[in-house]
Amino acid sequence: MDRSLVHDASRDAGEIIRSGMKLPTKLSEVPGAHHPLVRTHPVSMKKALYLGRRWEYPSQYIDGFSEEESQNLLNMLWGHSCQKEFIWCHAWKLGDIILWDNRCTMHYRHPFLGKYPRIMHRTFIQGDAPF
Sort strands 32-36 and 4-8 into parallel, antiparallel or unpaired: antiparallel
- Evaluate if pTM is beyond 0.85: no
Per-residue pLDDT tens listing for the chain (131 residues): 689 999 999 988 778 899 999 989 998 899 999 999 999 998 899 999 988 877 888 889 999 999 999 999 999 999 999 899 999 988 888 888 888 888 888 887 777 777 877 777 877 777 777 77
**Shortest CA distance to 52 belongs to which of 1, 11, 90?**
11
What would be the CATH architecture of the domain defined by 1-125? 4-Layer Sandwich (3.60)
**Shortest CA distance to 9 belongs to which of 32, 25, 35?**
32
Domain boundaries of the chain, sorted by first residue:
1-125
Q: Are 47 and 40 in contact (CB under 8 A)?
A: yes
- The runs of H, that is alpha helices, within the chain are 67-81
